Structure 1
Amino acid sequence: MGVKSLVNLELNKTVAMIPKNSILSIHTTAISNLLEQYKIKGSIGTVISLMYEKSIGIKSKWYGYIQSLPVEGVDLPVMWSLEDQSLFNGTSMEDILKRDKEQLECLYNDNIRDLLIPKHSDIFSGESFSYREYLIATSLVSSRAFNVDSYHGDSMVPLADIFNHRTLRENVHIESNGDVCKKCGSFYTCAHRKLKKSNSDILHDDNDNSDDEEFSKLFGKSSENQENLFIKIVKSCKSQTEVFNTYGDHDNTMLLSKYGFVEMDNPCDKIYLSRQEIDKIIMESIKDLSLLQQRLSFYSNLFDIDSRDDHHIDINGNVDDALVLSIGICCLDADRFKQLSTLPKSQLYKYFEKLQQDDILSQSPLTKDIILKILKQRDHSSSTTLEEMQTQITNLQPQKSKLHQYQSLQFKFIEKRILNKSIDIYR
């Protein structure tokens, strides 16, 4: 499914207007009172809303829209068999799958199994609220929902969700006024906003409509402009070509796990590196636990320790600066480390700010050796060439029955392509 242009679409043209009262959100669903009562918000609230509206069939305001959605949801890796999920072993997807499965089970148990079903069995019962139906609804919300505004949050938006994705090369954006009251959804001055200002000891002039006037300059004075979403052209599109939206500047791990597809030419792609695997290789190379703890403590006192949980290789093969710096500090000779450790933080920040990756790599050959070991350890398909993998992908493409093998092989191919670049850089 997708959208094809029948005419030339020019920049800044509005091609569709979607009323906000047509979206399915935690505030528009028939069970909004229960969600509010139990403070169920965010994506899990949207998932439960979709499950409920689907369960009541033709009685739902969104019956027609729900009928247009895939019956079995979107085929995300988290819904694959354990055997098929094992195809991602050794890739960035392996850890993401483990995390996603744990989070999904926790959210289902906390909000549906242990809360809504026992307390409201007359509403939430039967197969419609099984874990399988929950996964189906989750896959649909994950792959199709849009953040409409600060009131509705992630919502199912008819029409807007049929555009396919293209990273950094989209033709349309879905736009709306996002700065609305979080309690009632109103853009204009309302009782909640007045109360907030009053409680904050801010003088409020009832006749001060500056915010409303500013918004009117952008969207026009008609009230319909505040109650609608607009699909606008941000990149011109020729007649008879597909029109693309963007789901965000995501890497392929995110695209496959949340949206169910891989983008072979994704300019935002990267490979995630496990902190545990990195520390294991550093320890094997340095063989001095006390020294390692001392150096990493020095690093964490200067920089955000969480930066060590986001190590990655970018699309061009460069590892992140935090990885090079943390390994570089671990590999410094004793005299140089002692010299640095006596400097005040202000001088250290200036010093490290000017430091480039090449400077760090040149200070100790061991730093480069450790990075290479990390990269080679990460390359689990070293015996297979990119050309061989490309042939396998081409042969699998027409076979729908082997979609999981096809997507996992695409994913491995992309990771190997990045790893090869990275190994060449740090060799």
Structure 2
Amino acid sequence: MLADKIPPAPYGLGAQLALSVALCCELEQAEASRWYGYLQSLPSEIVPIALLWGGRDALGSDPDGETAREWITGTEIERTLRGEDNQDPMDEIRGYYHSIAAHLLPASCTISHFLRAYSLVSSRAFMVDAYHGLSMVPIADAFNHITENHVHLECDFDVCPLCGSFAECTHDREDAPPASEEPMDWQSPSVPTVADTCDMVANRRIPAGSEVFNTYGARKSNAALLAWYGFALDGNENDVVGWDLSDVAQILGGETLAFPLPSEGSYKAVLRAWLSSLGSMVADESRLLYRPDLDGAEERSFSGPSTVLCVNSDAQLSVYLWVYLTICAATQELRLARGLGELVPEDGERLVALLGAVIAEQVALEKTLEEEVDEAAEPDPTAGADGTALLVMLRVAELVDTLCERRISKIGKHPSLSTAQVGEVFDGIPETHKKTRLAIAQVLAERSLLESCQEDWRELRDALQH
């Protein structure tokens, strides 16, 4: 059997590739496949996921895809595709095809056929349970995705990985014989049979005659949707622009700073201490900052597409990025005040205290700027404030501006163009060039987000300089 020859992989790209081999084989069998009826419901062409844009072995000669690929340079789409390890997954996909898939599939299955199967798996398959693993599920994969979805899918993941039983089975016994020595249908008579189903559950009332939408994930950004599913939503609230910690350090290291940047270990130590302090709670009152929802993740990621060093769709800076930038600025002020060439361990407590003072002054200044005041009076918004905290805040505002400006200068095919000029380019792209339009729309969204963040922090900077 083909299934016995495919290297098993429980999750990730390996699981996608294994399933792609099976799907490619079934597609090639056509009417002879037991899944022929289901296979006819699948798109006949390669799903235009961004991963395959510009790939001639997938889409052949495709000027639209090639241009789109050029436009996603420096965007979150590119970061998403390269993943946590910053590697191009196409290298692994092509390698898998030539070293494994090509030897298992019929000779008529070229890499283009395999990539079509992969595009279907990427855009439709999902994890069912510990037995079935990543699977293509007929009917369940026919629903489109939106944030405010009508339904979601539920499966009992914790089943026996050897036979798929949700109820007690022979593999639960410590003295259970190998699978080949005892039938798989053994079940305790006291345990009722549980239906082996994947249930579609309604979240809310569904109006008659309306399209029923599913969710592919509660926090899918447009970058992720384009990378792995081939489409984007209008105004996706899950969009972010992120940085690896090493990228932030490299950008700031190019500045004429009078001090070395904090090491990753020093930053994380101060971050942990500050997050457990009362001062960190004040950050929740800032309109310029937000605390990313980690979705139950055991550890924060400081690199890759899930980095916590980011700006969200409301142009708010994550508290994790704010802490890093503030440590940089605060470290400078501490050194100037104490005349130290290097910070000693005891300075950690002083840094945490100064971070608390800075966020308190920042929130107070934000509230003052929001209030309607008598223009004739022109009150001083920083009167009575902590001078050192204000100096640090001013430097943070400048660092945010620099960080956003450097990122803007790296986004898209023509980063030297203004956002308005990029918009004109977008308007000139034919409707038939869907991939290019999607790519440029992503560039415009990211630039707009970063420019809005810049504008907010420049307002803070101007108030401090005034």
TM over 0.5: yes
Q: Which residue of 2 aligns with 1:133?
A: 113
- Deviation sequence 1:76-106 (CA, Å, 0-9, x none): 1222224430111232223334558722321
Query: Which residue of structure 2 aligns with residue 93 of structure 1?
Result: 77
* Alignment CA distance shift 1:171-1:340 (3 Å): farther
Aligned position for 2:91? 105
Report the AA paired with residue 341 of structure 1.
P
Q: Structure 2 CA distance, aligned partners of 1:65 and 1:238? A: 27
Relative contact order higher in (CA < 8 Å, ≥ 6 apart): 1
SS in 2 for 1:174: strand
Aligned equivalent of 1:78: 51
Cα distance between partner residues in 1 of 2:303 and 2:229: 27
TM-score (norm 2): 0.68
The residue type equivalent to 1:174 in the other structure is L
Pair 1:34-2:15 in alignment:
no
* Contact 2:145 2:216 (8 Å CA) reproduced: yes
Does structure 1 retain, via aligned residues, the 8 Å contact 2:221–2:238? yes
Letter aligned with residue 58 of structure 1: E
Q: Does 1:184 align with 2:163?
A: yes
The structure-2 alpha-carbon separation of the partners of 1:356 and 1:127, relative to structure 1 and needing over 3 Å to count, comes to farther
User: Whole-Å Cα distance in 1 between the matches of residues 205 and 423 of structure 2?
Assistant: 33
Q: Displacement, 1:74?
A: 0.7
Partners of 1:274 and 1:356 in 2: CA distance = 23
Q: Which residue of structure 1 lines up, in the alignment, with residue 381 of structure 2?
A: none
1:107 Cα deviation (Å)? 4.2
Q: Select which of 110, 128, 132 maps to 1:148.
A: 128
Tell me the amino acid that sits aligned with residue 3 of structure 2: S
Q: Partner residue of 1:284? A: 254
Q: 1:251 aligns with which of 216, 221, 228?
A: 221
- Hey, what's the Cα distance between the residues in 2 that align with 1:292 and 1:62? 62
**Residue 341 (str. 1) matches residue 345 (str. 2):** yes
Distance in 1 (CA, whole Å) between partners of 2:310 and 2:16 is: 27
The match for 2:318 is: 320
Q: CA deviation at 1:382?
A: 7.5
Structure 1 contact 173–246 (Cα < 8 Å) conserved? yes
| Corresponding position of 1:260 | 230
Alignment of 1:15-414 (within 5 A): 31-35=2-6, 38-41=7-10, 42-81=15-54, 82-98=66-82, 102-109=88-95, 111-115=96-100, 117=102, 121=103, 123-128=104-109, 130-167=110-147, 169-195=148-174, 223=193, 226-248=195-217, 249-287=219-257, 291-302=259-270, 306-307=301-302, 310=307, 311-331=309-329, 332=331, 333=333, 334=335, 335=337, 341-342=345-346, 356=359, 358=362, 363-380=392-409, 383-385=417-419, 396=429, 399-400=431-432, 402-414=433-445
SS at match of 1:376: helix
Gaps of at least 5 residues in structure 2 are 55-65, 178-186, 273-298, 364-388, 410-414, 459-466
Identity of counterpart residues, as a percentage? Answer: 23
Looking at structure 2, the residues matched to 132 and 377 of structure 1 have their Cα atoms a distance apart, in angstroms, of 38
Distance of aligned partners of 1:392 and 1:296 in 2 relative to their CA distance in 1, 3 Å threshold: same
1:352–1:367 distance in 2 versus 1, CA, 3 Å: closer
TM-score of the two chains, using structure 1 as the length reference:
0.74
* Shift in alpha-carbon separation, 1:127–1:101, aligned structure 2, 3 A: farther
Is 364-373 or 260-269 further displaced after alignment? 364-373
- Counterpart CA distance in 1 for 2:47 and 2:442 is 18
For residues 102 and 151 of structure 1, the distance between their equivalents in structure 2, rounded to whole angstroms, comes to: 30
Point out the structure with the larger helix share. 1
Distance between the aligned counterparts of 2:189 and 2:122, measured in 1? 40
CA apart distance, 1:190: 1.3
Residues 172-219 of structure 1 deviation map (CA, whole Å, 9 limit, x = unaligned) = 112222221122111011122223999xxxxxxx9796xx5xxxxxxx
Seen in structure 2, the aligned counterparts of structure 1 residues 182 and 355 have a Cα distance that, compared at 3 Å, is farther
Counterpart amino acid of 2:239?
D
Judge conservation of contact 1:317–1:418 (CA < 8 Å) in 2: yes
Q: Which moved more, 1:277-286 or 1:172-181?
A: 277-286
Distance in 1, matches of 2:311 and 2:8, equals: 39
Q: 1:391 to 1:411 in 2, by over 3 A?
A: same
Unmatched 5+ stretches in structure 1: 1-29, 199-205, 213-220
Cα offset for 1:385? 4.4
CA contact (8 A) 1:252 1:266 kept: yes
Structure 1, 173-182 or 100-109: larger mean CA deviation: 100-109
State the 1:270 CA deviation: 1.1
Matched with 1:27 is none
Structure 2 vs 1, CA of residues 268 and 341 (structure 1 numbering), >3 Å: closer, same or farther?
same
Contact 1:286–1:292 (CA<8 Å) still a contact in 2? no
- 1:125 to partner: Cα distance: 3.9
Relative distance call for 1:184 and 1:361 in structure 2 (3 A) is farther
Find the aligned partners of 2:154 and 2:247 in 1 and give their Cα distance.
Answer: 42
Amino acid at match of 1:102: D
Compared with structure 1, are the counterparts of its residues 33 and 348 closer, same or farther at alpha carbon in structure 2 (3 Å cutoff)? Answer: farther
Per the alignment, do residues 375 and 138 of structure 1 end up closer, same or farther by CA in structure 2, a change over 3 Å counting?
same
